[in-house]
Amino acid sequence: MKRTKRLEIDLLKQSDSLIYFMWSKTGRPYKLYRDGQLVYEGTSNSFKDVDLARGEIYTYLLEEIGEEGEISERLAMQTMTENHGSNVMHRLQEIAVTAIVAKDRIALAWGEIKGIEKYKIYRDGELIQETQQTQFCDQRIERDKSYTYLIRGRRPLIRSEERMGAPKFMAAKVFSILTPNVTYVEPTDEDFWITKKIGEVNRLLAGNDKSGDEKPYFDWQFRYSTFLDEKYIHSPNPLSPNRYFAGDDRSFDPEAKSYRTRTGFSLHLTEGGTQFDHSASVGTSIAYDWRKKFRKARIASSAGITIERTEADERKEVISIDHRVGNPLTTSPEIGYRVSASFYRNGHYDISGIHDQSPNHEVYLKNSLTDEWMPIHQADSKGLAWMSDVIACQYWRVSNFT
């Protein structure tokens, strides 16, 4: 049967338990696989997947069958069900993020975040487009390369779903007026980062043609550090004898020995179960007088840090981190962040977090296929004053399609 147009996804809809999509009617039959299992074969150009788990990643491979029974074209799509459950920590966890891969293009789509008027799209750290749409198509790709896309958007705190969003917005406006070297907008704007790591197109479109020696299960290591990049930090209290505090005097570095706090865990995922270990440590706080002479040192308690497995089934493991650590030498806001990390037994992950915009935050992953830490989130500090509860937070989510 003669082909009428190229294969594309024309429509995609998700809910908490359903994924429905249509593709271009090319005049040929199709086969559709979900997570490696054949779920449809025929000439219809739509598919409805029902009774799915909430907030889950699903991967589809669509094959167009040629006149001789050969595979004439493939599309690979990774998408998600939405998650409007009571356990979500922020808006990015509610929406579905989708990646569609063809031999000559990569398309991304994500759920609407009300209040964001413009998104900036980065590829491998380079700004490549600004858009008001919740979708993007990259047609300048090479099939044997991996890419990391970052989607960034900002919105006023007053538009937040967060409880007390409007009062916090007014307080943040006052902060922006009273604080030097701060723009009027920054403290009142929530910052959203969506990161998608896409593997080589050739591999993603290989389907069942992949070599049989690939490992379906992974050992994962996760590391989250907070640090201060300055050597000395001015005390926020000018009347205190502790006029300065020691910083960590460094930039982003997964192996750095100096940090404010560090959490981590390791996962060994197999068909039969999971091995899970975790750790948390707090760096030494050091105070100096006005001459920068040593006064005292103390280590804060790690009692405000919890790391636990919160969900486990045959598809994935979910690890949650809740982090609250203060300065043991003075009264000050705590370093606070939360993380929810899902690791699938097929090698995919979906990690979300929220944190104040100070100090520096760095998050890394390592798996059984590499010896090097891979950065998945790095955020510069905007100053200790940004640790205040009235300042808008930063929200992030990162997932992979490899």
Ordered DSSP codes for 130-184: EESSSEEEE----TT--EEEEEEEEEEGGG-SSTTHHHHHHHHHHHHHHSTT--S
Structure tokens at 72: 């004439």
More confident residue, 299 or 172: 299
Banded pLDDT at 4 (limits 50, 70, 90): low
- Mean per-residue pLDDT, 344-361: 94
For domain 1-86, the question of CATH label 2.60.40.10 is answered with yes
Task: Return the pLDDT at 175.
Answer: 35
- Mean per-residue pLDDT, 112-120: 96
Bridge-based pairing of strands 105-110 and 135-138 is: antiparallel
pLDDT, tens digit, for every residue of 233-245? 998 778 889 999 9
Whether the per-residue pLDDT at 294 is higher than 50: the answer is yes
Phi, then psi, of 373 in degrees rounded to 5: -70, 135
Whether the per-residue pLDDT at 166 is higher than 50: the answer is no
- Mean per-residue pLDDT, 175-189: 48
- If 0-12 CB within 10 Å is exposed, 13-18 middle and 19+ buried, where does residue 326 land? middle
Whether the per-residue pLDDT at 43 is higher than 70: the answer is yes
Among 73, 68, 76, smallest CA distance to 30 is for 73
| Separation in Å, CA 336 to CA 24, 159, 178, 324, 356 | 47, 22, 24, 5, 7
End-to-end alpha-carbon separation of the chain, Å?
33
- CA 33 – CA 20 distance, rounded (Å): 14
More confident residue, 86 or 174: 86
Task: Return the pLDDT at 389.
Answer: 67
pLDDT, tens digit, for every residue of 63-108? 999 988 899 999 999 999 999 988 899 999 999 999 999 999 999 9
Residue 305 per-residue DSSP state: E
Percent of the chain whose predicted confidence (pLDDT) is above 70: 88
Whether the per-residue pLDDT at 172 is higher than 60: the answer is no
Residues 6+ apart with CB under 8 A from 144: 200, 201, 202
- Mean per-residue pLDDT, 281-293: 97
Banded pLDDT at 178 (limits 50, 70, 90): very low
- CA 389 – CA 366 distance, rounded (Å): 32
- Of 23-27, 237-241, 276-280, 299-303, the one with minimum mean pLDDT is 237-241
Whether the per-residue pLDDT at 185 is higher than 50: the answer is no
pLDDT, tens digit, for every residue of 305-317? 999 999 999 899 9
Percent of the chain whose predicted confidence (pLDDT) is above 90: 75
Task: Return the pLDDT at 158.
Answer: 67
Banded pLDDT at 210 (limits 50, 70, 90): low
Q: Token match 């008027």: residue?
A: 117
Mean per-residue pLDDT of the chain: 89
Whether the per-residue pLDDT at 39 is higher than 50: the answer is yes
Region(s) of the chain under CATH 2.60.40.10: 1-86
Task: Return the pLDDT at 171.
Answer: 39
Task: Return the pLDDT at 371.
Answer: 86
Phi, then psi, of 94 in degrees rounded to 5: -80, -35
- Mean per-residue pLDDT, 221-234: 97
Whether the per-residue pLDDT at 165 is higher than 70: the answer is no
- Of 6-10, 80-84, 208-212, 338-342, the one with minimum mean pLDDT is 208-212
- CA 287 – CA 306 distance, rounded (Å): 27
Banded pLDDT at 205 (limits 50, 70, 90): very high
- CA 287 – CA 296 distance, rounded (Å): 5
H-state helical runs in 282-389: none
- CA 287 – CA 244 distance, rounded (Å): 6
More confident residue, 13 or 164: 13
Banded pLDDT at 216 (limits 50, 70, 90): low
Banded pLDDT at 177 (limits 50, 70, 90): very low
pLDDT, tens digit, for every residue of 325-346? 999 998 888 999 999 999 999 9
- Mean per-residue pLDDT, 117-141: 98
- The sign of the CA dihedral 351, 92, 354, 178 is positive
